[in-house]
Structure 1
Amino acid sequence: MSEPNALFSETILLLGGAVVSAPIFKRLGLGTVLGYLAAGVVIGPIFHGLTDGDQILAVAELGVVFLLFIIGLELKPSRLWQMRRDIFGLGTAQVLLTGALLSLVAWLSGVLDWRGGIIAGFGLALSSTAFAMQILDDEGDVNTRYGQRSFSMLLFQDLAIVPLLALINILDTGKGHGAPVLDFAIAIGAVGAMIIMGRYLLTPLFQIIARTGAREAMIAAALFVVMGSASLMQLAGLSMAMGAFLSGVMLAESSYRHELEADIEPFRGVLLAIFFIAVGLSLQLDVLWDNALLIVIAVPVVMIAKGLVIYAISRIAGSSHDDAIRIAFLLPQGGEFGFVLFSAAGAAGLMPSSTASLLIAIVTLSMALTPIGTMLSKRLLTGDKQEEQLDEDFEGAGADVLMIGFSRFGQISAQILLAGGRAVTVIDTSADRIRQASSFGFRIYFGDGTRKDVLRAAGVEHAKIVVVCTQKREVTDKIVELVQDEYPHAKLFVRSYDRIHSIALRNRNVDYELRETLESGLLFGRRTLEALGVSEVDAYEIGEDIRRRDEQRLVLQVSKGLEAGRDMLYSEPVKPEPLVKPKRTMDFSADPLAGTAEVTADA
């Protein structure tokens, strides 16, 4: 079979494994991660459908890179600063204490000398960001207190890979050519360059691309930013994932955050699934069999030791028993950076290559056991009320109102909502409008409201009301249909283009619609009457009479057609008096408009 055909068939196997395993394991309540691992074991070690698991793993690690980029997008620098105690306090304590304990165990086992024991211990102290974050995402716990603390530890572990790789050079007395101070300076310089580029170059770049309206160029730009920043950090000695995370943080306050997240998400999902499958592919069953007794002892020892340390420091840091249990069972596994560390240590001669392979097998097996451990951890919970979800410290997902379109109509409506103390997420497709609104202090995001992935990135799943203020009827109808089909929990408040559009929207059973000219036309007519000498009270009553007649006509037209209710229109001045005050006999409790207005007031 030619190489292109082999690549094609391998891709089919990987995607097929994901398609089959994920729904089955999800339905069984075992989680998608365990399903992907099982698919990898079946495809590779058991049936030998694929044998180059390590090469696939190297490519699929881009899934971890994209995952860290999306996480970075959801963290403003100010929020990251607020998490500094958990990142540098809990994170440092976890790596140092766990690394020291596991280094001692590795040295006492007699398999490694003290130098190899240090690398083994601190390598096993690192956890898997991909596994932990995927489990948190599956459970919907990313923004819980324990989810944020878990992420803080993972983030510090990603930072710790830099000094640990430098430690290999220091301990490698045979070569002794390491320059850790220079490496550290290069890493700091790369981070500084990332911050400068993110602040002054990225947003203008996306503004230029957005004006062209070329969506494929926006996707290409998003991929370029993620992979370019990851490569820059790798050249500086940092991890690729850390580079992607930093670029995400730099764009967290950008108006293009939601669009970027929506564009990257499909790549992240597919590549991360392939990453988990590749971990299963790389599982060496012969190594496990030849060292079965050692592995049977080592894997639980590593996981229990890490779990105990994590539980203890979490409790000391103020976590409840239940949260500490959740964190301890979420992070006891080895991490993907352990693969890099152990391979480098084997190449440097700090441990035999066979021992490095054994450590990699231990890490892989601990990954495979993590989803099972998180399910078993629920038996150890005391039933304390779970802490409330953290409010995300970025303007976006979680707001009560998602407004699509920020034209004149939307700007006035947003003023009412903001004055009422309500958080509003606004998305619009006009780069110029976003730039102009930003100059007045508004936070608006670039995004196409007709795309499901953009709506999800903008937080539609958490929104109580979706306000559609787009200018084109066909765009409005497409958004209404999408929201009603995919997010029926959200109420729909819609700006209609004209009377015919209002009738169509009512036939779609939207919660509230309003013609863009109705209120301004009523007010304009009232003020004109007042200028002609009619009292303000009488003009108001006449305006309310017209509003009532208009609503009654709309109700009739919805059921009987556009010609219904013609008799309710005034076609000539009211006689015999110049103007007669209408009698207020309206029953607002039965008035459909009054009912929807009450919903608006409550909102």
Structure 2
Amino acid sequence: MASGADAGQLIGVVTLLGAAVVAVPLFKRLGLGSVLGYLAAGLAIGPYGLGLVTDTETILNVAQLGVVMFLFIIGLGMKPSHLWGLRRQIFGLGSMQAVLCATLLTGVGIALGFPWRMAFVSGAGFVLTSTAIVMQTLAERGDILAPRGQRIVSILLFEDMLIVPLLAVVAFLAPAEAAPAAASPLWQRIGLGLLSLGALVAAGLWLLNPLFRVLAKARAREVMTAAALLVVLGAALLMELGGLSMAMGAFVAGVLLSESSFRHQLEADVEPFRGLLLGLFFLGVGMALDLDVVTLDWRLIGLGVIMLMLAKALCVYFAARLAGGSRAEAIDRATLMVQGGEFAFVLFAEALRLKVITPEVNADMSAIIVLSMALTPLVGAVHKRYARARAGAEAATPDGVETPQDLRGKVLIIGFGRVGQIASQGPLAQGAELSIIDNDPDVIRNAARYGFKVYFGDGARADVLRSAGARHARVILVCVDDPVAATRIVENARRECLQTRLVVRAFDREHALELVRLDADDVVRETFEAALLMGRQAVLALGATDQEADDLIGEVRNRDAERFALETAGGTFAGRALVLGNIERIDPPRHDRKPDMPRPPTDHAA
């Protein structure tokens, strides 16, 4: 029987989930976004609302992992070469915006009556944008991979790195009586941070891929999920021990695994935890808003929120314009990055410990940060509603987002055994861009020797299909040799990718009928063509000419197609799919190929 304490914890969990389930759909229906729904729900059930949940600090500490996992998933989508290409945006655009914001926000702090040291710490805390809010908004808009989204991500990465030098500046500003409480020397902290980063890079380069290969061979799905969480949390812990940001550690781990064959499976395993914990983070932020402090210092806090948000919006706008951004992009970035961030709480806590700021300033600034987070979705909603329409081309197709014409060459192949390797040659000869997933580590390793990039993953899972970009593919070739798995893939792919053409390998006639009823576009029976070719050779051996053999085999093919059509028409199916094989003649197989086309592994060729 559960104890009272256990029941109380369960009540808290149920309360958190219930508040999110009620508030988030309501706020999204009102056009205010999920973030504001989480914040409002947290405020309502927190210690300063109805008091249903009181352990805010523990919830925030756990929920920080949502931000960590979000950065890991972002890192998985950024190859090192791509990240290197963003270096000017990270250090150039990021540093310009940070310097402009720190200067103006410090001036705002002085205007509010703070001494210059407190004004600098308060302004510097507001410089650090909320990674969680911005990334969640970008994800909902689908802008993370667009050029404008990549510029925002670059700035966020620089701000995450900025927390280390800012903590060092706070230690330098500490009064003499706080010196004994200061941390280790700056050079030692920098060295420890570099050592942690080096250890993480080394592990990513030489340890993680062999580890996932061993686990994949074990075919224990829950162990792969545990390993994915171990990588994310282990990288975060290593960076935390080195004095760096946990989110930065997870991002670096993601970048190191971005070219791994296991990338899609890792993303699919981590994604559910990321979404749940990130929502919990926003709930915790809402619960952290101390209404007593707001009521006591409402004039200062209200004025501070308005002045700091306006000042930061102006800085972000001018930084974007100075970097060559359009007016529309600058306004969009200013409304998105107008708030303070979660790392400000870390900075304020350290400044309070070293007596750079007072407890009253810490409480006021924390309330200002939380209120700015809560107001950001409202600012975004107002901007979205009243901003002028962008130019036609920009409105129709956001920069960096591929149009259907751009996607015409993308082919996703699921299963890269004997059939998949041969089926890939046609699209390769046409110059198509291939994405390949398979759940056999040996196939992945063999294919790599011939220049193919194959990702590990279970293609029958809808989340793996999404991670592999199935929605953006023009064609999906389902080449797996498991009829049950092929059926599940078709079910999920048809539900996820309405406009994508599905070409599926069928085990036999009954399986082909089932796939047709599931709305597969093209169904190929794996033994049918080979059997017809054998029959043709037998007819030739009996003395028939090539034309006579082709006519006979064509008649067999037509009769089979007619019977298949009658069987499909016998049910409720209206007849959408083409069952390959209903062709008048069979041409002999071609053995010529382009010289630069990768040859499939000979030990798997059929």
Shared fold by TM > 0.5? Answer: yes
The partner residue of 1:37 within 36, 39, 50 is 39
The partner residue of 2:77 within 71, 74, 79 is 74
The partner residue of 1:520 within 530, 535, 538 is 530
Q: Which segment drifts farther, 329-338 or 509-518?
A: 509-518
The partner residue of 1:304 within 310, 314, 317 is 310
Paired residue type of 1:210: A
Residues 213-292 of structure 1: pairs in structure 2 closer than 5 A: 213-292=219-298
Partner residue of 1:380? 387
Output the TM-score relative to the length of structure 2.
0.88
Question: Could you tell me how far 1:291 is from its partner in structure 2?
Answer: 1.3
The partner residue of 2:438 within 409, 428, 431 is 428
Question: Could you tell me how far 1:488 is from its partner in structure 2?
Answer: 3.2
Could you tell me whether the CA contact under 8 Å between 1:143 and 1:389 is conserved in 2? no
Give ranges in structure 1 of 5+ residues lacking alignment: 562-588, 598-603
Partner residue of 1:577? none
| Percent of aligned pairs sharing the same letter | 44
Could you tell me whether the CA contact under 8 Å between 1:347 and 1:353 is conserved in 2? no
Question: SS state of the match for residue 424, structure 2?
Answer: helix
Partner residue of 1:456? 466
The partner residue of 1:333 within 328, 332, 339 is 339
Question: SS state of the match for residue 131, structure 1?
Answer: helix
The partner residue of 2:151 within 130, 149, 169 is 149
Partner residue of 2:422? 412
Question: Could you tell me how far 1:554 is from its partner in structure 2?
Answer: 2.0
- For 1:328 and 1:202, locate their aligned partners in 2 and report how far apart those are by CA, in whole Å: 39
The partner residue of 1:506 within 513, 516, 536 is 516
Question: SS state of the match for residue 51, structure 2?
Answer: coil
- For 2:492 and 2:363, locate their aligned partners in 1 and report how far apart those are by CA, in whole Å: 50
The partner residue of 2:321 within 311, 315, 321 is 315
Question: Could you tell me how far 1:171 is from its partner in structure 2?
Answer: 1.7
Question: Could you tell me how far 1:513 is from its partner in structure 2?
Answer: 0.4
Question: SS state of the match for residue 252, structure 1?
Answer: coil
1:363 aligns with 2:373: no
Paired residue type of 1:429: N
Paired residue type of 2:437: I
Paired residue type of 1:239: S
Question: SS state of the match for residue 46, structure 1?
Answer: coil
Q: Which segment drifts farther, 447-456 or 208-217?
A: 447-456
Could you tell me whether the CA contact under 8 Å between 1:95 and 1:125 is conserved in 2? yes
- For 1:177 and 1:56, locate their aligned partners in 2 and report how far apart those are by CA, in whole Å: 27
Partner residue of 1:166? 168
- 1:327-373 residue CA offsets vs partner (Å, 9 max, x unmatched): 11100100000011011101110010110111111110000011111
Question: Could you tell me how far 1:399 is from its partner in structure 2?
Answer: 7.8
Question: SS state of the match for residue 503, structure 2?
Answer: strand
- For 1:535 and 1:103, locate their aligned partners in 2 and report how far apart those are by CA, in whole Å: 92
Question: Could you tell me how far 1:533 is from its partner in structure 2?
Answer: 6.7
The partner residue of 1:103 within 95, 102, 106 is 106
Cα gap change, 1:491 to 1:590, in 2 (>3 Å)? closer
Q: Which segment drifts farther, 8-17 or 333-342?
A: 8-17
1:479 aligns with 2:501: no
Q: CA RMSD in A?
A: 2.5
1:89 aligns with 2:92: yes
Partner residue of 1:125? 127
Question: SS state of the match for residue 113, structure 2?
Answer: coil
Question: Could you tell me how far 1:287 is from its partner in structure 2?
Answer: 0.9
Cα gap change, 1:186 to 1:494, in 2 (>3 Å)? same
Cα gap change, 1:590 to 1:299, in 2 (>3 Å)? closer
Paired residue type of 1:509: D
Question: Could you tell me how far 1:137 is from its partner in structure 2?
Answer: 1.3
Could you tell me whether the CA contact under 8 Å between 2:73 and 2:251 is conserved in 1? yes
Question: Could you tell me how far 1:382 is from its partner in structure 2?
Answer: 4.3
Question: SS state of the match for residue 494, structure 1?
Answer: strand
Cα gap change, 1:536 to 1:91, in 2 (>3 Å)? farther
- For 1:204 and 1:391, locate their aligned partners in 2 and report how far apart those are by CA, in whole Å: 35
Question: SS state of the match for residue 426, structure 1?
Answer: strand
Question: Could you tell me how far 1:132 is from its partner in structure 2?
Answer: 0.5
Question: Could you tell me how far 1:439 is from its partner in structure 2?
Answer: 2.0
- For 2:29 and 2:40, locate their aligned partners in 1 and report how far apart those are by CA, in whole Å: 15
1:183 aligns with 2:185: no
Question: Could you tell me how far 1:539 is from its partner in structure 2?
Answer: 4.6
- For 1:8 and 1:168, locate their aligned partners in 2 and report how far apart those are by CA, in whole Å: 41
Question: Could you tell me how far 1:520 is from its partner in structure 2?
Answer: 3.4
Question: Could you tell me how far 1:64 is from its partner in structure 2?
Answer: 0.4
Question: Could you tell me how far 1:538 is from its partner in structure 2?
Answer: 5.3
Question: SS state of the match for residue 514, structure 1?
Answer: strand
Paired residue type of 1:377: H
Could you tell me whether the CA contact under 8 Å between 2:522 and 2:579 is conserved in 1? no
The partner residue of 1:212 within 208, 213, 218 is 218
Partner residue of 1:199? 205
Q: Which segment drifts farther, 145-154 or 226-235?
A: 145-154
Count of aligned pairs: 564
Question: SS state of the match for residue 514, structure 2?
Answer: helix
Paired residue type of 2:390: G
Paired residue type of 2:486: T
Question: SS state of the match for residue 416, structure 2?
Answer: coil
1:491 aligns with 2:498: no
- For 1:373 and 1:592, locate their aligned partners in 2 and report how far apart those are by CA, in whole Å: 59
Cα gap change, 1:64 to 1:399, in 2 (>3 Å)? farther
Cα gap change, 1:536 to 1:136, in 2 (>3 Å)? same
Partner residue of 2:22? 20
Question: Could you tell me how far 1:515 is from its partner in structure 2?
Answer: 1.0
Question: Could you tell me how far 1:228 is from its partner in structure 2?
Answer: 0.7
- 1:430-487 residue CA offsets vs partner (Å, 9 max, x unmatched): 1111111122221111111222221221222323333211101111112222333444
